Amino acid sequence: MSSSERGRLFGALFDRGPADTGDEAWLQAMLDTEAALARALERAGLAAAGAGAAVSAAAQAGAFDVAELGRLAAGAGNPVPALVRALTAKLPPEAAAAVHKGATSQDIIDTAVMLLARRVLDAVRADLSAAARAAAGLAQAHRHTIMVGRTLLQQAVPVTFGLVAAGWLTGIDEARQGLDRILAQRLAVQFGGAAGTLAALGDEGPRVALLLAEELGLARPAAPWHTDRLRILELAAALAGACGVLSKVARDVTLLAQSEVAEVRETGPGPGPDRGGGRRGGSSAMPNKRNPVAAVVILGCARRAPGLLATLAACAEQEHQRAAGAWHAEWEPMADLLRLTGSAASWAAELLAGLEVDAHRMRANLDAAGGFPLAENVAAVLAPSLGHPAAHDLVAEASARAAAGQGFRDALLSPPLAARLAEAGITADRIDAALDPAAYLGSAVAFTDAALAAHRLLPS
């Protein structure tokens, strides 16, 4: 549970998991940046010996009044000036001189965003890895579990649940790879001073920037990126992509868990006796309900991601050397997107680890379709003898008869269609073989195995 979750009415839903983007996490990331800058300045010979250690010791979020810093932020348009004053007040003069030297507020906040993102992405990646392992387990276990496929929300040809889970697995693995690229390449220190020149540090600016990057374990960009927001946009896009992948999984689960379908169901603990009791998924009005809570909350998180991404994309247009408003508009949407992605990933790991699959119900639903999902295969079997147009027309006619109440097999073998089949040498046994779903799975198993093989090549 993240610290930002505590005391929030919806925190257990949308702040779930270890990812933390609350006020204290933000503050600590800014303080970590100030402390790293003091250490970098000392290493460069631009701050007194021991200044870095002194600032680092004082830069603990718990020692600052977040609410007061927030109130004072109104005077400068951001909380950094107030934070700098509060931090320097805790230090002796020789160490205080190293605080914020050469930096501007945007350097501190942008670098803090990078630190916050790294911490959240580490947590998200761990949960996505757990979700991927669970999806791989489902794909392996259900390589041959036959179910009806559904396209445009209508029944289509047979598939396997293993292939469905393999699709989830591939999406999650690709989302992980996208986040890995951000972690490895796109999280960079921001250090440019007032207008991107670091003039306050004279010729030592580039060296201090390099040392600052080393202290924080972030990349050092070729130049400050105050109004080049591609890093922010790429981070946001990777997060939104992860949300999109997880929402696909969650939407499939909600559809497959519908009462009329009942092919999968969630498992998971209820709220517990100290929070109202009952199993998870219960309804305040209908005691019989077993709602797919994890899937629903994942969808609740993911639905907000596109709007947040759009806001951050709109903020990428920033004027001259420092933006008026667009930079400020990034802070909360980015924090929200990090938080919601972290929550969705945490829910997904639990959802997939505990998903119950009802293979018997899957087969029963397929059989209840009366052979219609195999119509394509029947037409393909008839085509060499009847020709493609005639085979199509015969199957269409049989489908119409079946839709009026006759079974699809019975319709195919009833007069006058049976006579046309007999003339073409098509026996009832061949029709029965064409209506066997196990014989019409194409490359479902091969594709499942390929997804599993690709997954095994990825780092855990």
* 232 inside domain: yes
Domain of 239: which CATH number?
Answer: 1.20.200.10
- Nearest Cα neighbor of 248 from 354, 166, 156 is 166
Q: How many domains does the chain have?
A: 3
> Is residue 287 over pLDDT 70?
no
> Is residue 272 over pLDDT 80?
no
* 12 inside domain: no
* 430 inside domain: yes
User: Among residues of the chain, what percentage have pLDDT more than 70?
Assistant: 94
* 193 inside domain: no
Do 82 and 121 fall within a single domain?
no
pLDDT band, very low/low/confident/very high, at 460 (cuts 50, 70, 90):
confident
Do 427 and 449 fall within a single domain?
no
* 283 inside domain: yes
Q: Give the torsion through C-alpha atoms of 404, 407, 412, 415, to 10 deg.
A: -70
Task: Determine contact, residues 338/239, Cβ cutoff 8 Å.
Answer: yes
What's the domain range around 58? Answer: 1-7+17-103+198-221
Model pLDDT, residue 286: 46
Domain of 82: which CATH number?
Answer: 1.10.275.10
> Is residue 282 over pLDDT 70?
no
Do 273 and 296 fall within a single domain?
yes
Do 259 and 347 fall within a single domain?
yes
Task: Determine contact, residues 82/69, Cβ cutoff 8 Å.
Answer: yes
* 310 inside domain: yes
pLDDT band, very low/low/confident/very high, at 283 (cuts 50, 70, 90):
very low
How many residues are present in the chain?
Answer: 460
Do 170 and 112 fall within a single domain?
yes
Q: How far is residue 407's CA from residue 374's CA, in Å, rounded to a whole number?
A: 13
Model pLDDT, residue 404: 79
Do 157 and 279 fall within a single domain?
yes
Q: E strands of 73-227, at which residues?
A: 146-151, 154-160
pLDDT band, very low/low/confident/very high, at 281 (cuts 50, 70, 90):
low
Beta bridge partners of 148: 158
Do 209 and 346 fall within a single domain?
no
* 314 inside domain: yes
* 322 inside domain: yes
Average of per-residue pLDDT across 394-402? 94
Do 176 and 206 fall within a single domain?
no
Do 68 and 203 fall within a single domain?
yes
Do 267 and 407 fall within a single domain?
no
Extract the tokens encoding 281.
Answer: 């998924």
| Residues catalogued as catalytic | 283, 322
Beta bridge partners of 154: 151
More confident residue, 209 or 403: 209
Q: How far is residue 458's CA from residue 456's CA, in Å, rounded to a whole number?
A: 6
Model pLDDT, residue 2: 46
Kindly report the pTM of this predicted structure: 0.93
pLDDT digits (tens, 9 = 90+) for 336-365: 999 999 999 999 999 999 999 999 999 999
> Is residue 275 over pLDDT 50?
no
Do 301 and 258 fall within a single domain?
yes
> Is residue 3 over pLDDT 60?
no
Model pLDDT, residue 7: 55
Do 70 and 208 fall within a single domain?
yes
Task: Determine contact, residues 244/302, Cβ cutoff 8 Å.
Answer: yes
